[in-house]
Amino acid sequence: MEIVTQKDTNVKTHPPKKSLSPWAMARRKFVKNKLAMTSLIFLITVAIVSFLAPYITTADVSRINIGQMSLEPSSDHWLGTDKAGRDVFTRLLYGGRISLLVGLSCTLFVIFLGTLIGSVAGYFGGAVDNILMRFTDLILNFPFLVFVIVINAILFGKVNGLWVLILVISILSWGGIARIVRSKVLAEKENEYITAAISIGCSPAKIIVKHLLPNIMSTIIVQATITFATMIVAETGLSFLGFGVPQEIPSWGNMLNSAVEPDVLQFKSWIWMPPALMITITILSINFIGEGLKDAFNPKSRR
């Protein structure tokens, strides 16, 4: 007996779902990370408010007012005034501009130099790798604080002290990034697609820029967030010691410089507490963003 089956013509077939790219999957995982997203929103808000400081407050950021020295917080001065009679809230906003600008500028320089040297050393290997890595070791072992102090002493008053600080910090901080990029390039260049690119005559620069770097970009982005936090801490520490941002330019580190006096530290907390809290929360936010990015780009992570 022959059994005839009739297909149901009313059944609708759905096309297979498109698989997400690694970047799309990372973006989706990062958005679901509530702590990282909250930190990102906070950091963006701080940046926007800081750079809109001239439109938020009209107080003079540098004018010394002897009659209003060390006033407690009030309706006229929300966060009080410092030892020179300057409004703490105004200096906090303008200081955020400088601290974030120094941190971001140093991060861009460090990532650029570290990626350039690390990728060249990892791709070419041999003598090129040895020379660049020995130079990297020299940079890593160089006395950071001594070099900054000496350069500031030599160039003080001759050029813009802020950009000198950015350049000095950047030149002495790219070594760790170079080593990480080099190790990633050494592992990535063994893949078959690199061999295929070499066989069809692609130049080393094209292979590095179009094939190697896109595949290690997730590592570079994560390291950039960590470096951003480190650069802000470096600027704050140097300015606190008096060797960072020039004193006439407000920054969070310069505002903390007043805390070295016992009287201010014990009885006038409104002078140093706001910049200390902003530095702490900003650094924590950047670190949470970095952790979120690391989890997002890690395919084995389920957080």
Q: What percent of the chain has pLDDT over 70?
A: 89
pLDDT band at 72 (very low <50, low <70, confident <90, very high): confident
Tell me how far apart the alpha carbons of residues 180 and 115 are, in angstroms, rounded to a whole number: 9
> Tell me, what's the pLDDT at 156?
58
Q: What pLDDT digit, counting tens, does each position of 271-282 carry?
A: 889 999 999 999
* Domain 46-57+79-297 in CATH 1.10.3720.10: yes
Global confidence as pTM: 0.86
Mean pLDDT of the chain: 84
> Tell me, what's the pLDDT at 1?
46
> Tell me, what's the pLDDT at 121?
94
| Mean pLDDT of all residues in 179-186 | 93
**pLDDT > 90? residue 151:** no
**pLDDT > 80? residue 12:** no
Q: What pLDDT digit, counting tens, does each position of 215-261 carry?
A: 898 899 999 999 999 999 988 888 888 777 877 788 898 888 877 77
Domain assignments of the chain as residue spans, ordered by start: 46-57+79-297
> Tell me, what's the pLDDT at 13?
57
**pLDDT > 50? residue 199:** yes
